[in-house]
Copies of this chain bind each other. A is one copy, B any other.
Amino acid sequence: MSAPGTGASGPAPRRRGRPARTEATVGPGARERILAAARTEFAERGYDKASIRGIARAAGVDPALVHHYFGTKEQVFGAAIEVSFEPALNLPDLLTHGADGIGERFARYFLGIWENPATRAPLIAVIRSAMTHDTAAKVLRGFVLRRMLERVAAELAVPEPRLRAELAASQLVGIAMLRYVVQVEPLSSADPEDIVRMVAPTLQRYLAEV
């Protein structure tokens, strides 16, 4: 991956102040590798202890390339959040089927995301960081407001749609915290479908009932 003609055979020198490798030389996968490394770094070390250098090392790139693609640590965190929330942002067919049964569709969809360890881990990491670090909270808040809640709220035919979307989110976040993080019983080992059955009317009322 060294640039032609440099004659360098070892790793590129670090801290050069700008990307040591171009898109052409690092390959088109560098951005994705950095994002994946960022998710892991933030998940494992938390916002405070995560570093651009650690992310770069894990991705096998120069730290300057991380800055080049994503900017500051805060912006890298924002990008990592965006990737983590991707499943939650697709919201497939949740809104296009109208108000009928929207509570059950929301409950089942989000429980599905939480039940899958691959999608659960980064989400929990993001929420943990936001709980304990103001910058992370600010990034999550900006992101959640801008993308997910606004999108849901825009399609609701109820008064105060944004407040209602947030109350629905608070129910789902609270379940995630108690079921997967604090792990209270019997909630922690309850059948997901039992939870859907109990929670669907709550979400239905927030999202669709005046």
Binding site for B on A (CB under 8 A): 46, 127-128, 130-132, 137, 140-141, 144-145, 149, 160, 162-164, 166-167, 169-175, 177-179, 181-187, 190, 194-195, 198-199, 201-202, 205-206
**A163 to B145 alpha-carbon distance, docked (Å):** 30
A142 to chain B, nearest CB (A): 10
Binding site secondary structure of chain A: helix
**A164 to B154 alpha-carbon distance, docked (Å):** 31
In the complex with contacts A130-B182, A182-B141, A201-B205, A187-B175 CB distance below 8 A: no
A48 to chain B, nearest CB (A): 10
With a cutoff of 8 Å between Cβ atoms, the chain B residues found around residue A171 in the complex are 170-171, 174, 202
Assembly of this chain: how many copies? Answer: 2
**Which of A160, A178, A199 lies at the interface centre, i.e. has the most chain B CB atoms within 10 A of its CB?**
A178
With a cutoff of 8 Å between Cβ atoms, the chain B residues found around residue A140 in the complex are 182
**A184 to B196 alpha-carbon distance, docked (Å):** 25
With a cutoff of 8 Å between Cβ atoms, the chain B residues found around residue A172 in the complex are 174
In the complex with contacts A127-B131, A131-B127, A166-B178 CB distance below 8 A: yes
Partner of A181, one of B131, B160, B186: B131
